[in-house]
Amino acid sequence: MTQNENNEQANDISETSSHSGTRYWGNVEVIEEGETYRISRVEIKPRHGIKSQIHYHRNEHWVVVSGVAKVTCGEEEILVNRNESTYVPAATLHKVENPGHIPLVILEIQNGEYLGEDDTERPYDLNLVKPVPENM
């Protein structure tokens, strides 16, 4: 394979997996993606988590492969162990944290009519969480 063919193949991969990448809390790797679904491998560092968020056009199903997940979905907080799963319905505020000492690995299946990242809102965006003034 020529260098140009290698570059073209790399561009194709990055276009199909634009949601993949390293985050401050860990890593996301898109495994498969279709028009109405996306399957990702999510790894969260020990004592880290993904901030609260809400999506209006997709549901998420999380399967724990390794570690323990502390999941907040709406008002409910649960621990999800290896080989267990949980479901996050659309329009539900949710977050996931790794309270343990080993990396948390989750398979995340997103399913919905629209999977764009602009359908992700965070509590500060929604004014659900008020920042505390520093002089208090």
> Domains (ranges, CATH) in the chain?
19-126 (2.60.120.10)
pLDDT of residue 134: 60
pLDDT of residue 40: 97
pTM, whole model, 2 decimals?
Answer: 0.76
List the chain pLDDT tens, one digit each, 136 residues: 434 443 333 333 333 345 789 989 999 999 999 999 999 999 999 999 999 999 999 999 999 999 999 999 999 999 999 999 999 999 999 999 999 999 999 999 999 999 988 888 887 655 554 555 665 4
DSSP per residue over the chain, as a string?
Answer: --HHHHHHHHHHHHHHTTT-EEETTEEEEEEEE-SSEEEEEEEE-TT-EEEEEEESSEEEEEEEEES-EEEEETTEEEEE-TT-EEEE-TT--EEEE--SSS-EEEEEEEEES---GGGEE-HHHHT-SPPPPTT-
